Structure 1
Amino acid sequence: MADISPNRFRNDCGPFDLIGDIHGCAAETEMLLEKLGYRIEFQGPAGSRSYDISHPQRRKPVFLGDLVDRGPRSPDVMRLVMGMVKRGDALAVVGNHDDKFRRWLDGKTVRMTHGIEETAEQFEREDAAFKAECRAFIRGLPTHLILDEGELLVAHAGLAEKFHGRFSGEERSFAMFGDVAKQRDQYGLPVRLNWAAEYSGKRTVVHGHVAEPDVRELNNVYCIDTGCCFGGHLTAMRWPERELVQVQAKEAYFHSPRWAQA
């Protein structure tokens, strides 16, 4: 069984490149990694690529979840991330879209909305062995990781301090979806509560999930999902430098009413 303890890599001090929500945008991921100084070699056409990726200074990407859905090349994103993580060259946490995709791979009934329909269509061309590999990989991803001697926490949607280093159903839900109210907004989506406004922990929290045109920082909490799949940017934060590195999306692959109003 995979070790999904949030403290497993506590003594890993990087340096890291924290990468926001990819959502199937493989071309932009390749561009961003190259801009960050990674050496990328691949075989095969777009959509069916295998990768060999390294960094001359041994920096390590940390993928903040939502690898799949909405973008045009979710299988390539999975190959890229799985390969790096399995070699010990990268880390990743699970996002809500990844978990929904895993449930779809398990044969569970899921609502074919919010971009999973694109992923399902792309994976129709993939064989059973690759689908099983993806299923096992996502199942083994942690909900959050504490890194750099406890100075840094990464989770897909962030994490309130009371959940740091803990396992529970409430912690898992918060890490994947954030703090959400029971009511829905005008678009029928859950209302998101600004938990970072009350955060007072010394540990820096970096997350994605909430797509906005610009990186948001509040009380030592950073959201670096800048809406690549909606035509925004794919963003990385270098750690410990806290330097932001971005690439522009090649196009808008998916429409979101929230993004349109951002």
Structure 2
Amino acid sequence: MVQIKDISGYLVHNDESGPFDIIGDVHGCFDELKELLEKLGYHILFDDATNSYTVTPPAKHKAIFIGDLVDRGPKSQEVLRLVMDMVDANQAYCVSGNHDDKLYRKLIGRNVQVRHGLEHTMEQLSHCSAEFIARIRSFLGSLPHHILLDDGRLVIAHAGLAEHLHGSHNRSVRDLCLYGPTTGELDKMGLPVRLDWAANYTGHAIVVYGHTPVQEPNWRNNTINIDTGCVFGGKLTSLTYPDHILTSVPAHKVYAEPVRPFLQHNISA
């Protein structure tokens, strides 16, 4: 198997063509994640003795998580446990989201502001063992900022990525993958004003991303945002590649109030 992990931040699996079940921003919504995976045909068992999950995917399928596993929702620790177990079993890939990166920086002792849901994650992790915390720290620190699959025909990045940057790495590329392009200005709510990178995308590779919740995922210029705001009372959505099948489950409740209203369409990263 051709498998290259570039230590500078991105992952290449050119020989893997799917099927992939690409899952949008989970944000600690473990119950919905389990429900979605089971709807997709994954069989999930929890072993109380080992505190671990055993997952049996559908034949030849692999899950891909587009980042923001944590924060705001009620069970970030269980989302992490399930995703880490699946990645360790070679049943899943995962890219880093900005919330995952912030948790990592907090766990390695950096000075970060504990807000926007991180306070809930830290409270949940306060009940976990030091060994589990160390595992999380190692896992989050190893996540790539984007993944190229199927001979570069499929690109996974949390906030999307323009074609000329696919397979590139520097601090700017990493920040684009985690946060998306911005104008450098703040809106009236104090949030960064984001640029609509997908509007000008002309690449041949399909880019699947999340980061900014939309009411419904819509294809735009070979890109699709599948963050449908589960933690805000929307739904958790997956895209099965290469068949382009969208599957979703509704949020069980509203866990957090969005600072911005949901976008009507897939118009921003």
Q: TM-score, normalised by structure 2?
A: 0.92
Identity across the alignment (%): 45
Structure-1 separation of matches of 2:249 and 2:163:
31
Partner of 1:11: 15
Query: Among residues 14, 23, 27, which one is paired with 2:27 in the alignment?
Result: 23
Deviation of 1:217 after TM superposition, in Å, equals 2.0
Partner of 1:38: 42
- Picking from 245, 249, 267, the partner of 1:243 is 245
Counterpart secondary structure, 1:17: strand
How far residue 210 of structure 1 moved from its aligned partner, in angstroms, is: 0.9
Structure 2 matches for 1:157-236, cutoff 5 A? 157-236=159-238
Count of residue pairs the alignment pairs up: 259
Mark the CA change 1:156 to 1:81 in structure 2 (over 3 Å): closer, same or farther.
Answer: same
1:34-75: CA deviation from partner (whole Å, max 9, x where unpaired): 00011111135xxx9631111231310000000000000000
Look up the match of 1:139: 141
Q: Residue 2 of structure 1 contacts residue 140 of structure 1 at CA under 8 Å; is this kept in 2?
A: no
- RMSD value over aligned CA atoms? 1.7
Question: Secondary structure of the equivalent of 1:8?
Answer: strand
Deviation at 1:146, TM superposition (A): 0.6
- Flag the 1:119–1:214 CA change in 2: closer, same or farther, 3 A: same
Q: Find the residue that maps to 2:252 and give its secondary structure.
A: coil
| Shift of residue 180, structure 1, vs aligned partner | 1.1
Give, in angstroms, the shift of residue 3 of structure 1.
Answer: 4.9
1:36 partner letter: L
Report the counterpart of residue 107 of structure 1 in structure 2.
109
Q: Is the 8 A contact 1:67 1:77 kept in 2?
A: yes
Q: What amino acid does structure 1 have at the position aligned with 2:200? A: E
The Cα shift of 1:4 comes to: 6.3
Q: Could you say which residue in structure 1 is the equivalent of 2:81?
A: 79
Residues 152/71 of structure 1: CA separation in 2 closer, same or farther (3 Å cut): same
- Taking structure 1 as the reference length, the TM-score comes to 0.95
Q: Deviations over 1:131-155 (max 9, x none)?
A: 1111111111100001012110000
Measure how far apart 1:257 and its partner are. 2.6
Bigger Cα displacement from structure 2, 91-100 vs 212-221: 212-221
Amino acid at match of 1:113: R
Kindly state the Cα deviation for residue 2 of structure 1 after the two structures are TM-superposed.
8.0
Distance 1:152 1:260 in 2: 26
For 1:170 and 1:108, the matched residues in 2 are separated by 20
Q: Which amino acid aligns with 2:15?
A: N
Say if 1:3 and 1:189 are closer, same or farther in 2 by CA, change over 3 A.
same
For 1:71 and 1:142, the matched residues in 2 are separated by: 23
Q: Which runs of 5+ in 2 are unaligned?
A: 265-269
Specify the SS of the correspondent of 2:13.
Answer: coil
What secondary structure, in the 3-state scheme, does the structure 2 residue paired with 1:14 have? coil
Aligned residues of 1:178 and 1:192 also touching (Cα < 8 A)? yes
Conserved 8 A contact 2:214-2:262: no
Amino acid at match of 2:45: E
Q: Which residue identity lines up with residue 154 of structure 1 in the other structure?
A: I
